[in-house]
Amino acid sequence: MSNMAVTRESFDKVMVPNYAPSEVIPVRGQGARVWDQQDREYIDFAGGIAVSCLGHCHPALVGALTEQGQKLWHVSNVMTNEPALRLASKMVAATFAEKVYFCNSGAEANEAAFKLARRYALEHFGEQKSQIIAFNQGFHGRTFFTVTVGGQAAYSDGFGPKPADVEHVDYNDLDALKAIISDNTCAVVMEPLQGEGGVISPDPAFVKAVRELCDQHNALLIFDEVQTGVGRTGDLFAYMGLGITPDILTSAKSLGGGFPIGAMLTRAAIADSFKPGTHGSTYGGNPLACAVAEAAFDAVNTDEVLHGVAERESWYREGIAAINAKYQCFSEVRGKGLLLGCVLNDQYQGQAKAFLDAAIDEQLMVLVAGANVVRFAPSLVISKADVTEGLARFERAVAKVVNG
């Protein structure tokens, strides 16, 4: 092991300044707890942005990584491998999908989905059918194509000409979608619960109408389940709780439980447009990643864990309501399962980061979703004791912000 001293200043010296990380440098974790360089203990309500679905160093994941690490690390897609085929088989068995494509991240999964939708439309309907419709405040990744489809200009402006024929309407605004969709639309892209955009749930009637509009216009419905998938909402995937089925679904984040992996799922008739050579990834389907993801998928896809998500949601909602009764800073708690957003009321507009910073001072890790929402995305198996203690720390953080 290197004995080189690493500090927060090291970041400023050697890292590209596109992040502004906290002063805290975590060095180890166990379950929902994390310890920093000074051995201070934090409770993790952030989950590495909805990634650590089983907490830190879950024995099943450590075991899978250790076992596979002694066998085979990498072969590339010149050959296939057993962990990838096992994981794909389980994902197909558990979902609407018939085919799976593996990659390394949510952005890559979405990039593949958007390329596939364009290629499918071109092959079946002609090159005029290229329009992609997405939603304002959506988030689909940071590649140039995915950030263009994401509905936040602040992330996509300033890099030159954008990929063309991408349009945006407001989430839950059916009339706006009806006004813009046509037979030239190749896909409608949506999160079944907007995460980065503020933890905004879809109106169930809206989702059903989007599905019907796509069917009318031979457009593919793409669900970005990078944040909502693999148990986060209490269903294995969020579409299962909405009563409709997408044509293409993307997954990442919780899929690997902390090991980088992404997946695109679809039906065979659509997948056929990705013939050999049309798309690829050197690391996609990596044996290490797939072995860990298989263990995570097996652990989450159980009645015990999925039913437990709703129970844990109630612990959070009750605890936040009690805090808010005292401090009156939140207008509502949005979201589903363990993707929850505490929405700041008019008095505290723009101060989400202040709540996050105060929480870190109280040794609690939370997230924001824009300037007005404090976001929680903890482990799906977090204990009642950790939720109780974390909310006590959150209350102290709230008190600091409210009382100045």
Cα 252 from Cα 103, distance rounded (Å): 9
What is the pLDDT averaged over residues 70-87?
97
pLDDT digits (tens, 9 = 90+) for 364-400: 999 999 999 999 999 999 999 999 999 999 999 999 9
Q: Is 114 annotated as a binding residue?
A: no
Q: Could you tell me the maximum CA-CA distance found in the chain, to the nearest angstrom? A: 63
Q: Is 95 annotated as a binding residue?
A: no
Residue 1 pLDDT greater than 60, yes or no: no
Q: What is the pTM of this model?
A: 0.96
pLDDT digits (tens, 9 = 90+) for 9-64: 999 999 999 999 999 999 999 999 999 999 999 999 999 999 999 999 999 999 99
Cα 241 from Cα 248, distance rounded (Å): 16
pLDDT digits (tens, 9 = 90+) for 219-250: 999 999 999 999 999 999 999 999 999 999 99
Comparing C-alpha atoms, which of 388, 92, 337 is closest to residue 192? 337
- Pair of tokens at residue 74: 């990498």
Burial of 73 (0-12, 13-18, 19+ CB in 10 A): exposed
Cα 319 from Cα 335, distance rounded (Å): 15
Asked if residue 294 lies in contact with residue 87, where contact means CB atoms within 8 angstroms, the answer is yes
What is the pLDDT averaged over residues 305-334?
98
Q: Give the pLDDT band of residue 88 (cuts 50, 70, 90).
A: very high
Q: Is 226 annotated as a binding residue?
A: yes
pLDDT digits (tens, 9 = 90+) for 111-145: 999 999 999 999 999 999 999 999 999 999 999 99
CA distances from 42 to 175, 290, 355, 362, 378 (A): 46, 29, 16, 8, 13
Asked if residue 248 lies in contact with residue 188, where contact means CB atoms within 8 angstroms, the answer is no
Point out the catalytic residue in the list 114, 253, 376, 386: 253
For this structure, is 224 an active site residue?
yes
Determine how many CB atoms are found less than 10 A away from the CB of residue 303: 7
Q: Is 207 annotated as a binding residue?
A: no
Polymer length of the chain: 404
Point out the catalytic residue in the list 224, 235, 247, 386: 224
Q: Is 375 annotated as a binding residue?
A: no
**pLDDT of amino acid 2:** 67
Q: Structural domains in the chain?
A: 8-57+303-402 (3.90.1150.10), 72-300 (3.40.640.10)
CA atoms within 13 A on the CB side of 379: 24
Task: Tell me the three state secondary structure of residue 273.
Answer: coil
For this structure, is 139 an active site residue?
yes
pLDDT digits (tens, 9 = 90+) for 91-106: 999 999 999 999 999 9
Q: Is 139 annotated as a binding residue?
A: yes
**pLDDT of amino acid 404:** 85
What's the mean pLDDT when you consider all of the chain? 97
Point out the catalytic residue in the list 135, 139, 237, 394: 139
The 3-class secondary structure across 103-164, one letter per residue, is ECCHHHHHHHHHHHHHHHHHHHHCCCCCEEEEEECCCCCCCHHHHHHCECHHHHCCCCCCCC
Q: Is 154 annotated as a binding residue?
A: no
Cα 380 from Cα 368, distance rounded (Å): 19
For this structure, is 90 an active site residue?
no
CA distances from 245 to 139, 240, 337 (A): 20, 7, 20
The set of residues, in sequence order, having a beta carbon less than 8 Å from that of 267 and lying 6+ positions away, is 96, 97, 98, 99, 247
Tell me, rounded to whole angstroms, the distance of Cα 85 from its chain centroid.
23
State the residue for tokens 């090159």. 127
- Pair of tokens at residue 17: 């300044």
SS3 of the chain: helix, strand, coil, percent, to 5: 40, 20, 40
What is the pLDDT averaged over residues 305-330?
98
Tell me, rounded to whole angstroms, the distance of Cα 307 from its chain centroid.
20
**pLDDT of amino acid 116:** 98
Burial of 342 (0-12, 13-18, 19+ CB in 10 A): buried
Comparing C-alpha atoms, which of 228, 231, 140 is closest to residue 187? 140
Cα 399 from Cα 358, distance rounded (Å): 9
**pLDDT of amino acid 4:** 84
Cα 254 from Cα 123, distance rounded (Å): 33
